[in-house]
Amino acid sequence: MSRHSDIIALVTLVGISVAACGVPAEGGNLGQLRGWVMDTPIPKPDLTLTDTNGETFDLRAESDGYLTLVFFGYTYCPDVCPVHMANLGKVFGDLLPEVRDRTKVVFVSTDPERDTPERLRSWLDNFDPAFIGLRGSLDDINAALSSMMLPGVAVIPGEHGSEPLIGHPAAVLAFSPDGLARVRYPFGIRQSDWAHDLPLLVQGF
Amino acid sequence: MQWWCFAQQEAWTWTWRPLLGVWIGVVLLVLVYRRLVRGACADTESHQTTRWRRVAFGLGVFLLWASLDWPLGPLGAGYLASVHMSQFLAVGVAAPALLLLSLPPKAFDSLLTRPRTLSTFEGITSPLSAFFIFNIGMTVTHWPGVVDSLMPTQFGSFLLDVAWFAGGLIFWWPVIAPVPRRPGFHPLGKIAYLALNAFLIRPPFAMMIFSEHPIYSIYELAPPPGGDALNDQQFAGAIMKIGTAWILFVGVVVVFKRWVHAEKAAERLGA
């Protein structure tokens, strides 16, 4: 098995284990969702990082009242991150303005050394210029991941001089406008699922 | 060692990977061809015709090899629907026609000595059966659930390719193969058969073009160069429709030319 396979297996395992914490959506508005509803809602982490303009970004304050989709990944990611962001970006661009204007997509880099602000901005612009890119210390990021009951960042050294790979959660967390994440979207979620769920998520519960 | 291409869901790499099954398939095809044509064309056909048939065979084998081996094989199996559809054109439409054309009429004669096989062939390759087998096969093998289920395994991917190739052979058989003899299937009927298939709108094409979201999960969730899955899918739909129509149009021209040639030959004999 190649290293990339190892990483995909690791990330998928994380995704599955994360997804396994929840159950398919049932009951009420949640029952209509295609994401995985968690047994216990997760509060938005108290996380202050730096955005791609070099300005301080307080996640709770800046995204208060918005549907906030938070994903932890890195721009050198060979598989999960570009796929997740491309699918999300495609749907995000086609959302009705009343849904789009009430949604924020936040990408937190798990590779702050290599993900310079310029690189992060340029990479996110491939998907949607409205996507927010954040950088910070790995300690802060790991603390935030821990508070959301997600596994921390794992750096896997590159073989034969190749770039290192970064293990990170494969799920996107959807924080409702009330600041609680009740649903996770593991890798494998499709554009049709996003298009179905985002308008429902914006309405809140 | 990998035998056949399949959707691996891992980052694409330009490192060459041999696909042993494809090479074995090509060698087998060459051996079967040599056996079938041995002594079948030298006596009755001109040197030019024999050379033309060899070119057709070479082109057919090249199309099969190039579309199934690295890099197009793995790219089509797990990354780009447009490449997958180009493979279909090569494996399921163009190569079967070229390979049938590459066989001299005498090579089909062995069928005449096997009544049971001939009878089965008569049934399967009648224009009506061939029409339904090809179109149902084409629809099923491009159905999202089928593609997403079969492409992640080597055997499943191999099965799809074999189904395409077999469907293509059955489709072209009544138009090209001289056995079983079908005096009732006039060249005009062959032209109508090909034209109908060229213009037919099949469900997978409609789904690929008009769907709001990607229909194949393997391409939607493929790492780069997967890219914009919906654009790629729509491009794939266009390749399927325009590519198939173009190849069948070439078929119409060949049938028409052969018909005119045969009529002129008959006139010369009559005079």
Q: Do B11 and A191 touch (CB under 8 A)?
A: no
Both tokens of residue B113? 């000595």
Q: How far apart are CA B165 and CA B94, in angstroms?
A: 9
Question: Residue B43 above 70 pLDDT?
Answer: no
Both tokens of residue A57? 């970004």
**Residues of B numbered 7-26 whose beta carbons fall under 8 angstroms of chain A's beta carbons: which are they?**
8-11, 13
ipTM of the complex: 0.86
Q: How far apart are CA B14 and CA B63, in angstroms?
A: 21
Q: How far apart are CA B241 and CA B85, in angstroms?
A: 10
Considering only CB atoms, A190 lies closest to which of B8, B220, B228, namely B220
Both tokens of residue B140? 């099923």
Question: Residue B268 above 50 pLDDT?
Answer: yes
Instruction: Give whole-number Cα distances, A6 to A1, A2, B5, B13, B247, in Å.
Output: 7, 6, 19, 15, 43
Beta strand residue intervals within A19-140, DSSP E:
22-24, 36-43, 48-51, 56-58, 67-73, 103-109, 132-135
Quote the mean pLDDT of chain B.
93
First to last CA, chain A: 44
Contacts of A187 in chain B (CB under 8 A): 221
Considering only CB atoms, A2 lies closest to which of B10, B220, B222, namely B10
Confidence of residue A15 (pLDDT cuts 50, 70, 90): very low
Domain boundaries, given as residue ranges, for chain A: 3-203
**For residue B92, which of B153, B159, B165, B151 has the smallest C-alpha distance?**
B165
A188 conformational bin, left if phi > 0, alpha if psi -120 to 50, beta if neither: left
Closest chain B CA to residue A91: B213
Confidence of residue A2 (pLDDT cuts 50, 70, 90): very low
Q: Is A187 on the interface with B (CB under 8 A)?
A: yes
For residue A59, the SS3 value is: helix
CATH number at A3-203: 3.40.30.10
Considering only CB atoms, B10 lies closest to which of A8, A188, A192, namely A8
pTM of the model: 0.89
Indicate which of B217, B218, B221 best probes the interface with A, i.e. most A CBs within 10 Å of its own CB: B221
Q: How far apart are CA A101 and CA A92, in angstroms?
A: 10
Q: Is B116 on the interface with A (CB under 8 A)?
A: no
